[in-house]
């Protein structure tokens, strides 16, 4: 996928986001939790540390657009 295709997809996602906000299905201030796994040398192979980032949906939308 080239960057122009990826940008076009983002526009459609943002348009739907704003549409649902206008309908009251979600709010810009609704929380969004992003979970990621990172491995650590200290943790060795047996376990991984979970990284949690809390954002609002407004933050997520803003981060989509560079």
Per residue in 48-59, pLDDT tens?
556 888 999 999
pLDDT of 1 higher than 70: no
pLDDT averaged over every residue in the chain: 81
Q: For position 58, what pLDDT does the model report? A: 94
Crossing angle of helices 57-64/3-22, nearest 10°?
A: 150
| Confidence class for position 46, pLDDT limits 50, 70, 90 | very low
Task: Give the mean model confidence (pLDDT) for residues 10-32.
Answer: 95
Q: Please tell me the predicted confidence (pLDDT) of residue 34.
A: 84
Cα–Cα distance for residue pair 26/19, rounded to 1 Å: 9
């Amino acid at each position: 996928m080239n960057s122009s295709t990826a940008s076009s997809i983002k526009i459609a996602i943002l348009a739907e986001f704003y549409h649902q906000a206008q309908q009251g299905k979600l709010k810009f201030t609704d929380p969004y939790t992003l979970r990621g796994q990172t491995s650590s040398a200290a943790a060795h192979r047996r376990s991984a540390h979970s990284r949690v980032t809390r954002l609002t949906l407004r933050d997520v939308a803003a981060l989509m657009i560079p």
